[in-house]
Amino acid sequence: MGTGRGAHVWRFDAGRICLDLVATESAGGAPGAGEQLPGPQQLARWLTAARLVPPGTALTAVDGGWVDRFHELRSDISRLMAAQLGGPRSDAALARVNVLAAGAPPGPRAVRTADGRLVRALSAAPDCAGLLAVVARDAVDLLTDPVARTALRRCQGEACHRLYLDTSRGGRRRWCSGEVCGNRERVARHRRRALGKEIPPGVE
């Protein structure tokens, strides 16, 4: 699933919200993607698109401090996931994520709309620490779940660095998205075959 405004396109198909957050950094995203959460406006939109807050929640408190703290959590989660895939261990990152995970996430409540439907709302205005806690707890859950942890993969698409959980039968999924990187790889393979037929080997 992709959501965004203007040049910022967010996908929420990694299997965990903590991995979706990592995908918003230029080093953790798709080919050619830059920083996707450069300021408060984009972060506020991402929080809603990621369903960390219900649609229509006022996020007027989001400022540069929120952006910095989400960037820091994102970097720490990225380091921890990279360590799971054979990279260097980062106990400092783990300690910071554990501290954030100990915070209290915003409490949900069910409210009735004018037409009688029940929808989710928050019991109080969300604060930065509470929303960070939601993402940090998701990272802790992933890191401590042996089944989910062994399903962690990095996309094999050209120049793509997205992380995802491979829940396919047999665990043979190669790309973060068959429709995006998988399609890109199939097109590239087709072009290589076409060029190979048009240009005999050794002829330039």
| More reliable by pLDDT, 169 or 120 | 120
Which pLDDT score is estimated for 168? 86
Which pLDDT score is estimated for 173? 81
Confidence of residue 4 (pLDDT cuts 50, 70, 90): very low
Which pLDDT score is estimated for 185? 64
Residue 69 has pLDDT above 50, yes or no: yes
Residue 127 has pLDDT above 70, yes or no: yes
CA distance 35 to 131: 20
Inter-axis angle of helices 64-84 and 40-49, nearest 10: 60
Which pLDDT score is estimated for 196? 66
| More reliable by pLDDT, 90 or 11 | 90
Q: Which two tokens stand for residue 141?
A: 């859950």
Residue 9: phi, psi to the nearest 5? -115, 120
Q: Return the closest-CA partner of residue 27 out of 99, 98, 77.
A: 77
Which pLDDT score is estimated for 186? 61
CA distance 140 to 137: 5
Q: What is the pTM of this model?
A: 0.84
| CB 106 within 8 Å of CB 53 | yes
Q: Which two tokens stand for residue 165?
A: 């959980």
